[in-house]
Amino acid sequence: MSFSELSVWTFIMVFGVLLLSMLVACILKHFIPALQKTLIPVSVLGGILLLIVSTAVYFATGTYLFNFPVFGDGADGSMNGMQVLEVITYHCLGIGFIASGMRNSKKKFNKKRAGEIFDSGVTTVNGYLIQAFAGLIVTIIAVWVLNTPGMISAAGILLAFGFGQGTGQALNYGKIYENEHGFVGGSNFGLTVAALGFLVACIGGVIYINVMRTKGLIKIDTSTRHSTLSDYEDENEIPAVSSLDKMTVQFAVVLTVYAISFGIMYGLSALIPSLSNTLFGFNFLIGVLLTIPAKAILKKLYDKKVIRRRIINNYMMDRISGMAFDLMIIAGVAAIQLPLLATYWGVLLILAALGTVLTFWYVNFVCKRLFPSYRHEQFLAFFGMLTGTASTGMILLREIDGSYRTPASENLVYQSLPAIVFGFPLMFLAPYAATNNLAALITCIIVGVCFVVLNIVLFRRSIFRKHFSSAQVSAQNGTESSQDASYSENECSAENISSASDPDNKN
């Protein structure tokens, strides 16, 4: 091997162009007021710039920008530039989630706040479900009635992954559908849905802010939050600079966890070869689950004084996940090959329009009833997340709650645990839905039923108002004697747990 060979520089050139595009996008956004008003993330804008250039190059030369030899020519079994972009998107998803999962959390919530976070997680899953249900209806009709060539009935479920979970998951499942189930252009379809979701989040969010501001219901928050040392460093952490740089330690932890997740996926796929692609599609989820024992091991080592100084730094973990997600988004958008989607544009636009309307309506409905004291802040956080990513939700939220006075930002961060608990089993429906047309229909029915059931859980206090009221009366009557009061305080029945988590409960 010679260092003058283009293959040596492939990844460097790809990363260089991606990062350069983000810098150009940042400059454009700084100097063009119209771009500032859209609140479009720099990573999305940079991806769109590369998409425009790549498409123009394709029509001029017949080859996409990233398929030029300097980005990888695919010779001798190596990857071409477009495949490199997909690999970056795939790995950045896992790395970003692991870095987020490794953060230390000392936050303790009262029962009311715990109930709001639980409701936030259920709302997130319901957002996925309503998107998946609507998407499946559209593509079932497109395949069964319109006979759209190259499409499969399950393609509509990518609306939930593209809108609800972002670029990485849209690519993962699009790739599975393309490789295993014959969905022509499946990965591009998923990436395009995700890109449309980002545009919906930014443009739709800005329209909502302007309309509500015109009505006098919200105002732009111009206050600034002053950072303190605790925002950057916790007590008793390892020094920033020593024989080993602190950031190096953070990367080492994240990549070690990711390497172990690869070992688990590789081992399971060797035992169950038929599930290989599906298992590797869950790289981010397996990585997140591994952060739980990883943090438990570190805590044990701290308690035993084997390690005397804390290793994990939340600020640096946030920076790792932020960079990973920025690269994931820009690489995912840049990897779209628009000419391959020529026969799908009608379906894509219908999916985007329907997903936007239903997500807007459902999130607004929930926030109005469950989060009335900070309805608009929570709406922007949810809408941004369920059409883009959590960071998109935070971007919209900062416009009216820049100092995070309301609990909306905490709800967005901590809802992930209940969302994973309720959403994890449903993710296995996506591979099943693609097996045949009947499976897609069955999945659509199951998703619809789950949506109804989880909404009963979400609005349990309104639906079972009399039940909760009688439980509260019983608890009050039980305080007449000290013995009964002592028993009531230690009771762990389902009724008392539900009543205690009621945000409207003033007792």
Average pLDDT on 233-244 reads 76
275 occurs within a structural domain = no
Residues facing 80 on adjacent strands: 73
The answer, yes or no, to whether residue 355 has pLDDT greater than 70, is yes
Structural domain of residue 394, as residue ranges? 98-223+332-461
Average pLDDT on 293-306 reads 90
What mean pLDDT is reported for the chain?
82
Chain Cα centroid distance, residue 70: 32
Average pLDDT on 311-319 reads 88
Which residues make Cβ contacts (< 8 Å) with residue 69, sequence separation at least 6? 6
Location of structure tokens 């991606």: 18
Question: What pLDDT is recorded for position 134?
Answer: 94
133 occurs within a structural domain = yes
The residue that leads in pLDDT, 470 or 26, is 26
Question: What pLDDT is recorded for position 462?
Answer: 83
| Helix (H), strand (E), coil (C) string for 292-311 | HHHHHHHHHHHHCCCCCCEC
Question: What pLDDT is recorded for position 21?
Answer: 94
Handedness of CA 165, 169, 174, 177 (dihedral sign): negative
Chain Cα centroid distance, residue 272: 28
Answer whether 0.85 is exceeded by the pTM: no
Q: Which of 283-292, 460-469, 491-500 has the highest mean pLDDT?
A: 283-292
Average pLDDT on 125-132 reads 92
- CB-CB neighbours of 51 under 10 Å: 22
163 occurs within a structural domain = yes
| Helix (H), strand (E), coil (C) string for 420-488 | HHHHHHHHCHHHHHCCCHHHHHHHHHHHHHHHHHHHHHHCHHHHCHHHHHHHHHHHHHHHHCHHHHHHH
Tokens standing for residue 181? 């189930």
CA-CA distances (angstroms) from residue 265 to 261, 273, 343, 431? 6, 11, 35, 16
CA–CA gap between residue 77 and residue 410 (Å, rounded): 46
Confidence bin at 400 (pLDDT 50/70/90): confident
73 occurs within a structural domain = no
143-197 pLDDT, tens per residue?
898 888 888 999 999 999 888 887 888 888 888 888 888 888 888 898 899 889 8
How many structural domains is the chain composed of?
Answer: 1
Average pLDDT on 10-25 reads 92
CA–CA gap between residue 90 and residue 83 (Å, rounded): 10
Question: What pLDDT is recorded for position 227?
Answer: 62
Tokens standing for residue 145? 């009635």
146 occurs within a structural domain = yes
CA–CA gap between residue 29 and residue 42 (Å, rounded): 8
77 occurs within a structural domain = no
Question: What pLDDT is recorded for position 36?
Answer: 80
208, 397 contact by CB (below 8 A): no
CA–CA gap between residue 375 and residue 382 (Å, rounded): 11
Question: What pLDDT is recorded for position 256?
Answer: 95
Tokens standing for residue 383? 């809408």
397 occurs within a structural domain = yes
| CA atoms in the 13 A half-sphere facing the CB of 456 | 6
Which stretch of 66-75, 244-253, 305-314, 350-359 has the lowest confidence by average pLDDT? Answer: 66-75
Residues facing 73 on adjacent strands: 80
Question: What pLDDT is recorded for position 446?
Answer: 93
The residue that leads in pLDDT, 240 or 471, is 240
Share of the chain residues as helix, strand and coil, in percent rounded to the nearest 5: 80, 0, 20
- Outline where 102-245 has alpha helix (H): 111-144, 158-159, 167-181, 186-214
Which stretch of 256-270, 359-373, 408-422 has the lowest confidence by average pLDDT? Answer: 408-422
CA–CA gap between residue 286 and residue 383 (Å, rounded): 26
Chain Cα centroid distance, residue 120: 14
CA-CA distances (angstroms) from residue 7 to 10, 54, 61, 95? 5, 21, 22, 25
Which residues make Cβ contacts (< 8 Å) with residue 175, sequence separation at least 6? 86, 186, 187, 190, 277, 281
339, 99 contact by CB (below 8 A): no
Average pLDDT on 59-74 reads 83
457, 464 contact by CB (below 8 A): no
